[in-house]
Structures are given as C-alpha cells and as structure tokens.
Amino acid sequence: MKLAIATTLAASAAAFAPASKPASTTSLSAGFENELGAQAPLGFWDPLNMVYEQDQDRFDRLRYVEIKHGRIAMLAVTGHIVTTAGVRLPGDIDYHGTSFASIPVGLAGLKSIPTEGIIQIVAFIGFLELFVMKDVNGTGDFPGDFRNGGSKSWDKLSEEDKLKKRAIELNNGRAAQMGILGLMVHEMMGGSGYVINDLLGYPVN
C-alpha cells in the first residue's frame, strides 16, 4: 500500500517543481501569452481558441473555472489515495448498519451510499459554492482569491513568491485533473485505477 501511495504521488511530482518563467508565443490571442500558467514547454497553449479575440474578463472567467476544477480534482485525488490506503470514518453511514468501511473506493462508492447521503453531499457542495468558496467581499486580487480579508501572511510575501505559489497551485490542479480522470477511466474499464502498481507487480486491492 505504501508503494501505491508513493507511485501515485510520484506521477504528479513534476507539478510541485518551481514554475518556469512565462514563455513567449506567436499566438493570435495576443495579450494573454504572458499570463500565469503560460510556461515551458507549451507556453501559451489555446488549441481551441477559447480566448481568441476575447477580453480580460473572459480570460479571468476561464482561469477561475480552471482553478476551481483543479482544486476539486486535488481533493478528489487525495480522497482516492486516502480511502484506497484503508483510512475510513468509524461507525455506520446510515441506521441500517452500512459501515463507512464497506463503501468501495472511487465511482463504485456512489452506488453504495444511501440516497439520503447523496442528497446531503450535494446540498453541502451547493452551500459551499453559493456562500463560502467565493470572493464574498469582492476584494480578491486574482481569479480564485477567496481569502476575503483573511490570511494576512499572504500579504507579507514578495510579488515573485506570490506568482510562484499561484503557479504551483495551478500546475498541481492541472496534474490532479488528469490524475482523477485517469483513475476514473481505468476503474470504468474494469481494472485498478493504480495501473502503474499493476504493471510493477504490486496490485492495489
């Protein structure tokens, strides 16, 4: 199991590396080639022209969505690793004796969670989306800035360090989105999400 966690974390280790300086590009979407996230080896990469001839507001909206999905994916990958390692809440999830430990990992777990539990999960996510995980005060300095006046330590950082930390989060989110997608695809194909472990002869049960 330790190897399962290690190999999964190693797959996204590159995302934790210091961010490279933004790369230049000859893209027609001039004006965004030096934005955060446009870095080696791809530079500014917009194959679908989603920001072609778009304004800054449109770009910021797409960047906000990218960051939000990245944060959700990072939580999803972390949860997948933790539950696969056997870490579960104690007790039962309902009054019928369905224990947390009996809930399968991944998408299969949705079939085992009672309907009432699914409703509670959706309601909680909706509450966070509408009232918590947002720029409540309208004081955010960049897309995805949900400090809302808190985290004074952020203001003590230099501008270079702020950009570095934002780039690390962005890259981790991108890696996590690919990671959780891979886990789901392999699960739906009937195999283990941790395919590297299988290839190395250390399958995850």
pLDDT for res 205: 60
Residues of the chain with pLDDT under 50: 1-28
Contact call for residues 164 and 19 (beta carbons, < 8 A): yes
- What Cα–Cα distance (Å) separates residue 194 from each residue in 85, 92, 140? 12, 27, 38
Q: How far is CA 50 from the centre of its chain?
A: 21
Q: How far is CA 61 from CA 42, 50, 193, in A?
A: 21, 11, 32
Q: Residue 78: what pLDDT?
A: 95
Do the beta carbons of residue 136 and residue 149 sit within 8 Å? no
Count of beta carbons in the 10 Å neighbourhood of residue 191: 12
Residue the block writes with tokens 């299969």 = 108
In the chain, the amino acid numbered 161 is D
pLDDT 10s digits, 141-197: 899 999 887 778 888 999 999 999 999 999 999 999 999 999 999 888 877 777 777
Backbone angles phi, psi at 146, to 5 degrees: -110, 30
